[in-house]
């Protein structure tokens, strides 16, 4: 009986529906998490500007200048305190144009957007197609994981990882940020899953995956900076690849790096040539790493055999 229930809960249909619901929540995470982080960073900056001892150590004993900076810090802190409360659960979703709260039946994953015709029920302003795309993408990936790995604990682990990767990819695409709140738990998930034998990856291979994943991109970024004098990659990318290495094992890293690099280079060249994207404007690498990670999740053994790794 227990096995039948488990098979039902972890079936492609059930997890596909769950993925649509999770995707709806991921839309909130994608939109609000960067704002929450930036509020926190600005709050830290405001406190630091008011830290006279720290400012004096850095800038020297210029009382007038220190008082000016403290005033800036106080003003910034005051502005932050006047902002409305914000979390991943509060306030309710609302139209960014007219402020109308989204009714529960309008927030049904995918169907709500289709029913509204992609427009706010109040002011009729367009609702971005990004929302149903994220929901559909998450639902399809959840169903695909269930179909590929069956009603197993591995499926549950990979669905959690997929949700993290979707959120991280879209946040990076929007803001070039990869929050530690997403990348570091992915590392932890991979290590715990290997330790508990929830996946086919051994704990040593997961640990080496995290280590090699981080330092492979660190080395590339460090070399690029030495040669070009500018940052070519952010630390969030290192942590994301470390998470994928921990989850999928070090053997998949060459495939992930090669796939993400080829796709990233192709997209980057297209944006520069066809869209006039400035060469000095950074192109986020996280979405390509996430895509390479998902590909390795489904086809890791086949890809590794192509590069004769393993």
Q: What is the pLDDT of residue 209?
A: 97
Contact 47, 73 (CB under 8 A): yes
- Residue that has been written with the tokens 């995956």 in this structure: 209
Distance CA 308, CA 310 (A): 7
Q: What is the pLDDT of residue 269?
A: 63
Q: 309 falls in which pLDDT band (50, 70, 90)?
A: very low
Burial (Cβ within 10 Å: 0-12, 13-18, ≥19) of residue 160: middle
Sign of the dihedral through C-alpha 222, 225, 226, 228 = positive
Tens-place pLDDT, residues 152-181: 999 999 999 999 999 999 999 999 999 999
Tens-place pLDDT, residues 93-126: 877 777 778 877 778 888 888 888 888 877 888 8
pLDDT of 223 higher than 80 = yes
pLDDT of 249 higher than 60 = yes
**How many CB atoms are closer than 10 A to CB 297?**
23
**CB within 8 Å of 46: residues ≥ 6 apart:** 73, 74, 76, 77, 80
Q: What is the pLDDT of residue 310?
A: 42
Q: What is the pLDDT of residue 211?
A: 97
Tens-place pLDDT, residues 33-84: 999 999 999 999 999 999 989 999 999 988 889 999 999 999 999 999 999 9
Domain boundaries, the chain: 153-306
Distance CA 95, CA 127 (A): 8
pTM of the model: 0.90
pLDDT of 301 higher than 80 = no
- Token pair in block for residue 26: 């991921």
Tens-place pLDDT, residues 262-298: 777 666 665 665 555 555 566 788 999 999 999 999 9
Q: What is the pLDDT of residue 5?
A: 62
Q: What share of the chain is helix, strand, coil (3-state, %, to 5)?
A: 75, 0, 25
Give the residue with greater pLDDT, 309 vs 9.
Answer: 9
Angle between helices 153-175 and 12-49 (to 10 degrees): 40
Mean pLDDT confidence for 234-260:
93
Burial (Cβ within 10 Å: 0-12, 13-18, ≥19) of residue 228: exposed
Distance CA 182, CA 165 (A): 8
101 forms bridges with which residues in the sheet? Answer: 94
Q: What is the pLDDT of residue 284?
A: 86
Mean pLDDT confidence for 222-237:
80
Burial (Cβ within 10 Å: 0-12, 13-18, ≥19) of residue 230: exposed
Q: Which of 213, 212, 261 is nearest to 241 (CA)?
A: 213
């Amino acid at each position: 009986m227990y096995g039948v229930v488990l098979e039902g809960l972890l079936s492609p249909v059930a997890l596909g529906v769950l993925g649509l619901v999770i995707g709806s929540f991921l839309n909130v995470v994608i939109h609000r998490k960067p704002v929450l982080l930036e509020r926190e960073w600005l709050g830290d900056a405001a406190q630091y500007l008011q830290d006279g001892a720290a400012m004096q150590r850095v800038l020297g004993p210029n009382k007038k200048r220190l008082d000016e900076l403290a005033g800036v810090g106080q003003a910034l802190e005051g502005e932050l305190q006047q902002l409305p409360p914000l979390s991943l659960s509060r306030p309710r979703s609302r139209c960014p144009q007219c402020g109308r709260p989204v009714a529960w039946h309008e927030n049904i994953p995918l169907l709500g957007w289709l029913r509204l015709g992609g427009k706010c029920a109040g002011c009729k302003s367009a609702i971005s197609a990004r929302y149903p795309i994220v929901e559909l993408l998450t639902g399809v990936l959840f169903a695909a994981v269930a179909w590929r790995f069956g009603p197993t604990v591995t499926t549950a682990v990979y669905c959690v990882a997929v949700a993290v990767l979707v959120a991280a990819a879209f946040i990076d695409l929007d803001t070039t940020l990869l929050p530690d709140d997403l990348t570091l738990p992915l590392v932890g998930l991979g290590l715990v899953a290997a330790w508990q034998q929830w996946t086919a990856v051994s704990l040593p291979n997961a640990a080496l995956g995290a280590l090699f994943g981080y330092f492979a991109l660190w080395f590339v970024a460090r070399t690029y900076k030495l040669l070009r004098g500018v940052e070519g990659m952010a630390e969030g990318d290192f942590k994301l690849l470390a998470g994928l290495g921990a989850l999928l094992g070090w053997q998949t890293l060459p495939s992930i790096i090669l796939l993400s690099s080829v796709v990233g280079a192709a997209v980057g060249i297209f944006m520069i040539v066809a869209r006039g994207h400035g060469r000095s404007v950074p192109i986020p690498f996280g979405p390509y790493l996430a895509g390479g990670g998902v590909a390795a999740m489904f086809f890791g053994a086949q890809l590794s055999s192509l590069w004769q790794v393993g």
